[in-house]
Amino acid sequence: MLPMSTDQARITGTILVVDDDEAILQTIKTILSECGHTVLTARDGTKGLAAAEQTSPDLILMDVVMPEMDGYETTRRLRERPHLKNVPVIFLSGRSTGEDAGRSFAHGGLTFVRKPFSTQQLTDLVALTLQSLDESGETG
């Protein structure tokens, strides 16, 4: 990862984390909240869609493997909603298949991160994504 600049460290946003693992949700929420972000969580794709509809987050961290509706299907449905179609989605997965990275892009993901990830990797990726949105004028 690239080192974070002072400007990147100051940019905060609303981040929705969708994962069926409560420990992962709480870990990510703690890490990103300490960076000043507003962090919302959802335990499955259906709840993730509802949360996104209500809040229009700046960024979504989406688990790939979830019961009922996986992260790919959840993201496909997000992309059908005009006000959510451009929200960046970063896929997270503990699976080790190379196929997931390609599928992530094909399903509208910005990038793919394997679990476990480091705190620094997560915070840098979130900061760089929000910085990019800020520079393009897509965040408030």
| Distance, CA of 77 to CA of 110 (rounded, Å) | 16
With cut-offs at 50, 70 and 90, classify the pLDDT of residue 107: low
Beta pairing partners, 63: 92
Structure tokens that stand for 44 in this block: 């499955």
| Distance, CA of 130 to CA of 61 (rounded, Å) | 13
Residue 137 dihedral angles phi and psi, to the nearest 5°? 80, 15
Domain extents for the chain?
25-134
CATH T-level assignment (fold) for domain 25-134: Rossmann fold (3.40.50)
| Distance, CA of 98 to CA of 138 (rounded, Å) | 31
With cut-offs at 50, 70 and 90, classify the pLDDT of residue 118: very high
With cut-offs at 50, 70 and 90, classify the pLDDT of residue 93: confident
| Distance, CA of 74 to CA of 63 (rounded, Å) | 10
